[in-house]
């Protein structure tokens, strides 16, 4: 028996087939004794017609925006468990680096269930994945580097509902790479020769930390 049409195409619920009357009979006229099956009872299907969404793309390692790290990790989260993602599902902005590692960040428990109750399809997947990006020109980039969902991605949930869009409903964080070493100039207004103490000005090309008198020598 096949059921189709109506609201099945957009339903997210259990759908059950039941006999409502004892009208069925065999060729000699014996009526059906009961509407309850004596054998396997596979009369309920769990329908999922909701497409997963991308909820956020967050910096994971390092967690700070400004960095010179040669390996960057983002945590990509979805609205429901996704059985699998691949490097081809992502694109990198601001660098020729690529996706070099993908690992599930959260266990998808309880597992999602699809199919009929007598023969369910269990999907133990993850709602979030840690995506590692490295290589390419990452070690020399100065500027913003981001991770995005590729336009031709094949991301889908356990029953095949494809990702509804590539723009996260929440935050989309990027890294700012700084791989240029600071430079320094030392100047003074004192005229040579100098017979006593005099002031000097130490100027760096960018903000620095850790500089003190011990870094200077006569």
Across the chain, mean pLDDT equals 83
C-alpha neighbours within 13 Å on the C-beta side of residue 2? 2
- The more confident residue out of 40 and 109 is 40
Look at residue 14 in the predicted model and tell me its pLDDT.
58
pTM of this prediction exceeds 0.85: no
The CATH number of the domain covering residues in 54-177 = 2.60.40
* pLDDT category of residue 123 using cuts at 50, 70 and 90: very low
Is the predicted pLDDT of residue 118 greater than 60, yes or no?
no
- The more confident residue out of 158 and 150 is 150
The lowest-confidence range among 18-32, 48-62, 66-80 is 18-32
Is the predicted pLDDT of residue 173 greater than 70, yes or no?
yes
* pLDDT category of residue 195 using cuts at 50, 70 and 90: confident
Domain coordinates of the chain in residue numbers? 54-177
Is the predicted pLDDT of residue 142 greater than 70, yes or no?
yes
Give me the DSSP letters along 163-207: PS-SS-SS-B--EEE--PPP-EEEE--PPSS--S----EEEESS-
């Amino acid at each position: 028996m096949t059921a189709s049409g109506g609201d099945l195409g957009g339903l997210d619920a259990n759908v059950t087939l039941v006999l409502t009357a004892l009208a069925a009979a065999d060729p000699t006229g014996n009526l059906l004794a009961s509407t309850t099956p004596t054998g396997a009872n596979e009369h309920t299907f769990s329908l999922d017609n909701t497409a997963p969404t991308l909820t956020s793309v967050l910096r994971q390692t390092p967690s700070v925006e400004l960095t010179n790290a040669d390996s960057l990790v983002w945590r990509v989260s979805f609205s429901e468990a996704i059985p699998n993602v691949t490097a081809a599902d992502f694109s990198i902005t601001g660098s020729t680096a690529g996706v070099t590692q993908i690992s599930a960040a959260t266990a998808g428990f309880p597992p999602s269930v699809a199919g009929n109750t007598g023969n369910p399809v269990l999907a133990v997947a993850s709602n979030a994945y840690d995506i590692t990006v490295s290589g390419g020109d990452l070690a020399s980039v100065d500027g913003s580097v981001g991770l995005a969902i590729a336009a031709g991605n094949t991301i889908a949930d356990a029953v095949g509902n494809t990702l509804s869009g590539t723009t996260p409903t929440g935050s989309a964080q990027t890294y700012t790479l700084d791989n240029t070493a600071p430079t320094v100039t030392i100047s003074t207004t004192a005229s040579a020769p100098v017979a006593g103490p005099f002031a000097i000005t130490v100027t760096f090309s960018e903000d620095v930390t850790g500089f003190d008198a011990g870094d200077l020598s006569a």
